[in-house]
Structure 1
Amino acid sequence: MPYELIAILMFSTMMLMLLTGQRVFGAIGFVAVIAAFFLWGDRGGYDLGFSAGIRLMRWYPLLTLPMFIFMGYVLSESRIADDLYRMFHVWFGGLSGGLAIGTIGLMVLISAMNGLSVAGMAIGATIALPELLRRGYDKRMVTGVIQAGSSLGILVPPSVVLVLYAMIARQPVGQLWLAGVLPGLMMAAMFVIYIAIRCKLNPALGPVLPAEERDIPKREKYRLLGAGLLPFGIFFVMMVPFVNGWTSLVESSAIGALAAMLAAILKGRMTKEVFENSVRKTLGITCMFMWIILAALAFGAVFDGLGAVKAIESLFTEQLGLNPWVILILMQLSFIIMGTFLDDTAMLVIVAPLYVPLVGALGFDLIWYGVLYTITTQIAYMTPPFGYNLFLMRAMAPPEIGLRDIYTSIIPFVLVMVCALAIVMAFPEIALWLPGYIY
């Protein structure tokens, strides 16, 4: 059987298993090991999964994954996010659309605490959304703000998705995180500019808070500022030693986890329940990612053995004669299409064995492409009919926000994100300057 046909059969089998509701790592790992068994016999099939597991266990930077996830859950379970929102409520309430702008700031800091979009969505939907609706903000505006803001969690470091990409693409995690900083802040700034202009043109979308709610003593204002910026301080304490070369990435992640625990203890919020919930959720998320990375490594090894990457490269560049930029754009479009029914980890694991080597063969920088993939995933999260964030919002939103409101709310933010993607594609230095400068 031709290797090209084997590759197509593997993909179709895997997609069929995913459509039947099988877990991502189970479907991908099963297809990889069975394919290896039939291609290279008993020893090759068994050794493939075993060697992938050994390679995973020996990848030292993977220790950052549970550390950063634990840090995020400690900060969210101890309600430090509540202090953040109170700070934005007081400091930005006097602007038209100020609370919506503050919510974007909240999401950026939540992203720096956790690295997962689900955490930002949960906090935004439970803390910010009820307050914004109660203050008379347009429901479609605020629904879009929370969905767009929560998507920053997979781009702003410490991004868990970029850790997964680093493992599959064999790229340094630290460089990928630094590459996501400027694009993430740029996208957040674009969201803020859009909200400010929209609310300036139509103040009814984001009314100013009454003066009596904002006029509190300056001492209280500065106290809130200090409490709200605590997560930023933790991030600063964690990242400065790493950026200056004083600590490794793993050591910095341990500093972040310890700093988060210390902050919760000093504020009197580190209860037994908070600790147990944080540890339990950290264990669940970490195990899920470990299984997915293990399956991805096994699947990628089969594709390397088949030579499928070279065959696809030859198809695009020699037989079809496509320009490398056209191929890159087609790959991004395929991510958006897959994002209508898959989450970010599933998308990456399914196509990374093909796309990552192909991107390198076309002469593009794999650090830069990791940022492009992440931004495209953010867009896919919010693309109907089955965008991941759309259903998360539907599950968490109050009854007065319908599915039509949720779908309509994301249109302007998706357009902003597409513009951000185009800017980063046109100017790669936006992503590459910081890691190049630091390293």
Structure 2
Amino acid sequence: MSYEWIAVLMFSSLLLMMVTGQRVFGAIGFVAVVAALLLWGEGGSDMGFSSVMKLMKWNALLALPMFVFMGYVMSETRLADDLYRMFHVWFGPLPGGLAIGTVLLMVLISAMNGLSVAGMAIGATIALPELVRRGYDKRMVSGVIQAGSSLGILIPPSVVMILFALIARQPVSQLWLAGILPGLLMATMFVAYILIRSWLNPALAPAMPAEERASITRREKFALLRAGLLPLIIFAAMMVPFVNGWTSLTEASVIGALAAVAAAAVKRRFTRQVLEVATRSTLAITTMFMLIIMAALSFGAVFDGLGAGRAIQTFFLSDLGLQPWQVLVLMQASFLIMGMFLDDTAMLVIVAPVFVGLAKALGFDLIWYGILYTITCQIAYLTPPFGYNLFLMRAMAPPDFTLGVIYRSVFPFVGVMLLTLILVMVFPQIALWLPQTIYAK
């Protein structure tokens, strides 16, 4: 059997195991180990061991549990309650104002945790009941919370970007900086969509009643602004020393975690129960990511050993005669299709051995390509039938938020995400300007 057909067999076996509900790391690791033993005999068993040792030597991976812990502390101590009250008061008078406040809340929460699931938990427990009570349309509520929470993987400190950086051998700091402007652009477009829809049909997102607005004093409104300083302080305490080179990524992650704990302690919300829940959740998430990365390294080693990456590059460029941009569009289209059935980590693991190397060979900037990948991950979180956020929303929302309502709610926001993806593809400087400017100094 030719190496090309062996690669096809590996991919098909991997997808079959995932479709049947096997754990992602188990499916990837099993295919990698079996393929290595069949191809190289006993010598192939060293690949798994080498992957473990390589994983243990990645100092940057120590930042992962710190960021996850920080996100869970922010979620469990409900530090977002004050933020939501601030946005409620300041944006409530606008049609769709509370939905706009929800998006802005998600932007600030994203700057503190780097996880979509943390944003979903906060949105479902804080924003959703208030939006429903105010008479907002269910599809508007569902779409806003799901789309807003997905910003957590694009705005730093994104955990997804850390994984991409480890696998693609790119500096995390530049990826984080590259994600800021696309993330803010996408959030702005979410807000613009909400404003337009609310203006065309005010019944979808009614404004705060005049009586309630009159009952809020100016002093109370300005006092609530202090709540917005908290995430900015945590974000600045973590990012400023890191970007300026005063601390490493690991040290910055520790500063962020300590800042979140300190903020929770000042608010008198950091209890033993919070510490236990945050620690247990961090351990579970970190272990899962490490197992997936270890399996991905084994899979990638086998795939590289077959020369499959070079074969695919030759097929696209020589056999089909495609231009680099055409290949890039095909790669992004395949991401979008896979995102309908797989989560972001599985997508990265499956295609990293091929697409990252192919993008580099085609001359594309891997920092920019990492942002394109991250945006497609966001879209994958929302696209039926197996979008991650769709099922989280169904689990957290009231019973009257049926799966049909949740599915239909995301399509306008997916359209906004696709438009952002196209803009970043056509104008790479949207992503590259900030890291290039800062690192040029």
Deviation string 1:160-210 (CA, Å, 9 cap, x unpaired) is 111111111111111111111110010000000111121122222211112
Q: Does 1:47 align with 2:43?
A: no
Report the counterpart of residue 145 of structure 1 in structure 2: 144
Report the counterpart of residue 170 of structure 1 in structure 2: 169
User: TM-score, normalising length from structure 2?
Assistant: 0.97
Summarize the alignment of residues 111-122 of structure 1 with structure 2, pairs less than 5 Å apart.
111-122=110-121
* Counterpart-to-counterpart distance in 1, 2:92 and 2:143: 19
Secondary structure at the aligned position of 2:124 is classed as: helix
* Counterpart-to-counterpart distance in 2, 1:414 and 1:159: 20
Secondary structure at the aligned position of 1:229 is classed as: helix
* Counterpart-to-counterpart distance in 2, 1:181 and 1:228: 18
Report the counterpart of residue 154 of structure 1 in structure 2: 153
Secondary structure at the aligned position of 2:268 is classed as: coil
The alpha-carbon deviation at position 139 of structure 1 amounts to: 1.3
Report the counterpart of residue 335 of structure 1 in structure 2: 335
The alpha-carbon deviation at position 384 of structure 1 amounts to: 2.0
Deviation string 1:300-344 (CA, Å, 9 cap, x unpaired) is 111111110000000011011111111111111111111111111
* Counterpart-to-counterpart distance in 2, 1:41 and 1:413: 50
Report the counterpart of residue 126 of structure 1 in structure 2: 125
Report the counterpart of residue 417 of structure 2 in structure 1: 417
Number of residues paired by the alignment? 438
* Counterpart-to-counterpart distance in 2, 1:268 and 1:395: 30
* Counterpart-to-counterpart distance in 2, 1:54 and 1:435: 31
Report the counterpart of residue 85 of structure 2 in structure 1: 86
**Is this contact kept in 2: 1:394–1:403, CA < 8 A?**
yes
The alpha-carbon deviation at position 434 of structure 1 amounts to: 1.1
**Is this contact kept in 2: 1:74–1:261, CA < 8 A?**
yes
The alpha-carbon deviation at position 211 of structure 1 amounts to: 3.1
Identity across matched positions, percent: 72
* Counterpart-to-counterpart distance in 1, 2:46 and 2:11: 21
Q: Does 1:426 align with 2:426?
A: yes
Deviation string 1:41-66 (CA, Å, 9 cap, x unpaired) is 213x2211111111111111111111
Report the counterpart of residue 291 of structure 1 in structure 2: 291
Report the counterpart of residue 245 of structure 2 in structure 1: 245
**Is this contact kept in 2: 1:66–1:282, CA < 8 A?**
yes
Report the counterpart of residue 58 of structure 2 in structure 1: 59
**Is this contact kept in 2: 1:143–1:406, CA < 8 A?**
yes
| Bigger Cα displacement from structure 2, 30-39 vs 254-263 | 30-39
Deviation string 1:340-383 (CA, Å, 9 cap, x unpaired) is 11111011101111111011111111110110011112112222
* Counterpart-to-counterpart distance in 1, 2:199 and 2:67: 38
User: TM-score, normalising length from structure 1?
Assistant: 0.97
| Bigger Cα displacement from structure 2, 104-113 vs 420-429 | 104-113
Secondary structure at the aligned position of 1:321 is classed as: coil
The alpha-carbon deviation at position 156 of structure 1 amounts to: 0.8
**Is this contact kept in 2: 1:159–1:177, CA < 8 A?**
yes
Report the counterpart of residue 300 of structure 2 in structure 1: 300
Q: Where has structure 1 moved over 6 Å in runs of 4 or more? A: none
The residue identity in structure 2 corresponding to 1:395 is A
The residue identity in structure 1 corresponding to 2:186 is M
The alpha-carbon deviation at position 135 of structure 1 amounts to: 0.4
The alpha-carbon deviation at position 272 of structure 1 amounts to: 0.4
| Bigger Cα displacement from structure 2, 186-195 vs 243-252 | 243-252
* Counterpart-to-counterpart distance in 1, 2:387 and 2:74: 27
**Is this contact kept in 1: 2:75–2:121, CA < 8 A?**
no
Q: Does 1:386 align with 2:394?
A: no
Secondary structure at the aligned position of 2:206 is classed as: coil
The alpha-carbon deviation at position 286 of structure 1 amounts to: 0.7
| Bigger Cα displacement from structure 2, 224-233 vs 270-279 | 224-233
Deviation string 1:80-139 (CA, Å, 9 cap, x unpaired) is 011111111111111111100000011111211221111111211121111101101111
Report the counterpart of residue 201 of structure 1 in structure 2: 200
Report the counterpart of residue 357 of structure 1 in structure 2: 357
* Counterpart-to-counterpart distance in 2, 1:396 and 1:312: 42
The alpha-carbon deviation at position 386 of structure 1 amounts to: 2.4
The alpha-carbon deviation at position 273 of structure 1 amounts to: 0.3
Summarize the alignment of residues 96-111 of structure 1 with structure 2, pairs less than 5 Å apart.
96-111=95-110
Q: Does 1:275 align with 2:286?
A: no
* Counterpart-to-counterpart distance in 1, 2:435 and 2:48: 33
* Counterpart-to-counterpart distance in 2, 1:48 and 1:410: 42
Cα RMSD after superposing both structures:
1.2
**Is this contact kept in 2: 1:85–1:228, CA < 8 A?**
no
* Counterpart-to-counterpart distance in 1, 2:403 and 2:160: 27
* Counterpart-to-counterpart distance in 2, 1:291 and 1:206: 44
| Bigger Cα displacement from structure 2, 97-106 vs 325-334 | 325-334
Secondary structure at the aligned position of 1:315 is classed as: helix
**Is this contact kept in 2: 1:340–1:388, CA < 8 A?**
no
**Is this contact kept in 1: 2:143–2:406, CA < 8 A?**
yes
* Counterpart-to-counterpart distance in 1, 2:211 and 2:57: 58
The alpha-carbon deviation at position 430 of structure 1 amounts to: 0.7
* Counterpart-to-counterpart distance in 2, 1:429 and 1:177: 14
Report the counterpart of residue 179 of structure 2 in structure 1: 180
The residue identity in structure 2 corresponding to 1:155 is L
**Is this contact kept in 2: 1:84–1:229, CA < 8 A?**
no
**Is this contact kept in 2: 1:187–1:417, CA < 8 A?**
yes
* Counterpart-to-counterpart distance in 2, 1:395 and 1:5: 41
The alpha-carbon deviation at position 19 of structure 1 amounts to: 1.8
